[in-house]
């Protein structure tokens, strides 16, 4: 099979596209021929060597994608050859064929395309637990979403609206502000402006009920924009490490700081399938949608990485193997 691999850490130029051996599946795995592969910042961090990688080079990136079952292991039940399958947390996805453990295989209903499934799972399941588990959004809640034009951000906007909340987005440019508005934001402010003051103004000086904080370096301002008794949900640090939070501040303001990590939620196949089924149903009902992805051939992975690293993209970037 063909795969996108790298032998040393570095920039996009270390990525190579060539032939390697097909994966050999175990008794509780299925072999999936990939139709669409999601590209995420975690792939960039692994390519650079910021994240640990098991095994020896050549390494294969990718954890998210969708495709068609080509083989099933001896102990696999309930999934057959030809079934449409997606996954959010299976390694070595940047290849034509991927060995997928049965517990991580998520059925994809016919109305959902492979591109949609590969575009929505990782970010969509993240937004699902953030709005259901980390902080359960209620009707009339006022919600502040950081990086509102990003993959998770746009899905958070839609889910907050679906749950009856009002949502304020934060973005870095007017172009991204337009994307956030289109995704459902009631108002959008820019990071370069005094967004903390603007948020307080539109909430009559009280602040928002909850902030979904994914930048990290802005966490103090997020608390300042949160009402007394409000919540900050910390789930990322794309803009740098957060400062330490003084628990006395939490006590004095009755505010809550909570964290969120998807892998603490996706602990079983039942969790994966149930949460993904919610997501797919919302998409079928038109309550949640994903913007048109930017698609690159798998062989053009270098170019795809450069675009994602530039932070100029909105929506999902997909890698697509050549059809056989």
Domain containing 187 — which CATH number? 3.40.50.720
% residues pLDDT > 90 (the chain):
85
Q: Is 256 found in the same domain as 144? A: yes
**What is the structure's pLDDT at 7?**
93
Cβ-Cβ contacts under 8 Å for 16 (sequence gap 6 or more): 4, 5, 6, 7, 58
Q: Is 289 found in the same domain as 225? A: no
**What is the structure's pLDDT at 237?**
83
Greater confidence (314 vs 92) lies with 92
Q: Is 232 found in the same domain as 186? A: yes
Q: How many domains does the chain have?
A: 2
Q: How far is CA 69 from the centre of its chain?
A: 24
Answer yes or no: is pLDDT of 301 > 70.
yes
41 part of a folded domain: yes
246 part of a folded domain: yes
pLDDT tens by residue, 120-165 = 999 999 999 999 999 999 999 999 999 998 889 999 999 999 999 9
* Cβ count within 10 A of residue 153: 26
**What is the structure's pLDDT at 291?**
83
Q: Is 240 found in the same domain as 161? A: yes
Q: Is 103 found in the same domain as 143? A: no
The 10 Å CB-count burial string (b at 16+, else e) for 57-82 is: eebbbbbbbbbbbbbbbeebeebeee
127 part of a folded domain: no
pLDDT tens by residue, 238-259 = 888 889 999 999 999 999 999 9
First vs last C-alpha separation in the chain:
11
Answer yes or no: is pLDDT of 286 > 90.
yes
Single pTM value for the model: 0.90
Cβ-Cβ contacts under 8 Å for 262 (sequence gap 6 or more): 88, 89, 122, 125, 126, 129
Mean pLDDT computed over 65-69: 98
**What is the structure's pLDDT at 288?**
93
Q: Is 86 found in the same domain as 61? A: yes
Q: Is 245 found in the same domain as 291? A: no
Answer yes or no: is pLDDT of 45 > 90.
no
3-state secondary structure 180-209: HHHHCCCEEEECCCCHHHHHHHHCCCCCEE
| CA–CA gap between residue 37 and residue 296 (Å, rounded) | 10
Mean model confidence pLDDT for the chain: 94
Burial of residue 124 (CB within 10 Å: 0-12, 13-18, 19+) is buried
Q: Is 233 found in the same domain as 292? A: no
Element of type H or E holding 18: strand 16-19
134 part of a folded domain: no
Element of type H or E holding 154: helix 151-162
Q: Is 232 found in the same domain as 148? A: yes
Asked if 135 contacts 258 with a C-beta cutoff of 8 angstroms, the reply is yes
Mean pLDDT computed over 81-99: 96
Is the bond into 58 cis (omega within 30 degrees of 0)? yes
Domain containing 290 — which CATH number? 3.90.180.10
Query: And the tokens for 282?
Result: 């919302």
254 part of a folded domain: yes
Going by pLDDT thresholds of 50, 70 and 90, the confidence category of residue 80 is: very high
Q: Residues for the chain: how many in total?
A: 324
207 part of a folded domain: yes
For residue 275, which of 89, 148, 82, 98 has the smallest C-alpha distance?
89
**What is the structure's pLDDT at 260?**
83
| CA–CA gap between residue 290 and residue 172 (Å, rounded) | 20
Last residue of a domain, one of 260, 276, 308: 260
| CA–CA gap between residue 92 and residue 267 (Å, rounded) | 20
Q: Is 279 found in the same domain as 172? A: no
Give the DSSP per-residue string, 94-153: SBSEEEEEGGG-EE--TTS-HHHHHHHHHHHHHHHHIIIIIS---TT-EEEESSTTSHHH
pLDDT tens by residue, 202-243 = 999 999 999 999 999 999 999 999 999 999 999 988 888 889
Last residue of a domain, one of 216, 231, 260: 260
Asked if 38 contacts 98 with a C-beta cutoff of 8 angstroms, the reply is no
Range of the domain at 170: 139-260
Last residue of a domain, one of 239, 260, 281: 260
Going by pLDDT thresholds of 50, 70 and 90, the confidence category of residue 319 is: very high
Going by pLDDT thresholds of 50, 70 and 90, the confidence category of residue 314 is: low
Q: Is 148 found in the same domain as 175? A: yes
Answer yes or no: is pLDDT of 196 > 80.
yes
Give the DSSP per-residue string, 254-321: T-EEEE--GGGT--SHHHHHHHHHHHHHHHHTTSS--PPPEEEEGGGHHHHHHHHHHT---S-EEEEP
Answer yes or no: is pLDDT of 40 > 80.
yes
126 part of a folded domain: no
61 part of a folded domain: yes
Q: Is 271 found in the same domain as 225? A: no
* Cβ count within 10 A of residue 227: 18
Asked if 140 contacts 164 with a C-beta cutoff of 8 angstroms, the reply is yes
């Amino acid at each position: 099979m063909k795969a996108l691999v790298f032998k040393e850490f570095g920039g996009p130029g270390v990525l190579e596209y060539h032939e390697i051996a097909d994966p050999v599946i175990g008794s509780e795995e299925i072999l999936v021929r990939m139709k669409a592969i999601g590209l995420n910042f975690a792939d960039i961090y692994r390519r650079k060597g910021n994240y640990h990688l098991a095994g020896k080079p050549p390494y294969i990136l990718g954890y998210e994608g969708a495709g068609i079952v080509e083989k099933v292991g001896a102990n696999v039940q309930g999934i057959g050859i030809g079934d449409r399958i997606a996954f959010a947390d299976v390694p070595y996805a940047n290849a034509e064929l991927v060995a997928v453990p049965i517990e991580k295989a998520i059925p994809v209903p016919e109305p959902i395309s492979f591109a949609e499934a590969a575009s929505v799972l990782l970010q969509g399941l993240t937004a699902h637990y953030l709005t259901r588990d980390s902080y359960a959004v209620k009707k009339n809640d006022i919600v502040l979403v950081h990086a509102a034009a990003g993959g998770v951000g746009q899905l958070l906007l839609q889910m907050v609206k679906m749950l009856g909340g009002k949502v304020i987005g934060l973005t870095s440019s007017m172009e991204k502000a337009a994307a956030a508005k289109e995704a459902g934001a009631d108002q959008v402010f820019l990071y370069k402006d005094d967004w903390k003051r603007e948020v307080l103004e539109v909430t009559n000086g009280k602040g928002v009920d909850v902030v979904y904080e994914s930048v990290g370096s802005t966490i103090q301002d997020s608390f300042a924009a949160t009402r007394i008794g409000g919540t900050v949900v910390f789930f990322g640090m794309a803009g740098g490490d957060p400062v330490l939070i003084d628990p006395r501040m939490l006590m004095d303001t009755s505010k809550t700081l909570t964290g969120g990590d998807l892998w603490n939620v996706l602990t079983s196949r039942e969790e994966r399938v149930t949460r993904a089924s919610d997501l797919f149903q919302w998409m079928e009902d038109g309550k949640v949608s994903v913007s048109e992805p930017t698609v690159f051939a798998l062989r053009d992975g270098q170019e795809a990485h450069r675009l994602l690293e530039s932070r100029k993209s909105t929506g999902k970037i997909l890698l697509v193997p050549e059809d056989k």
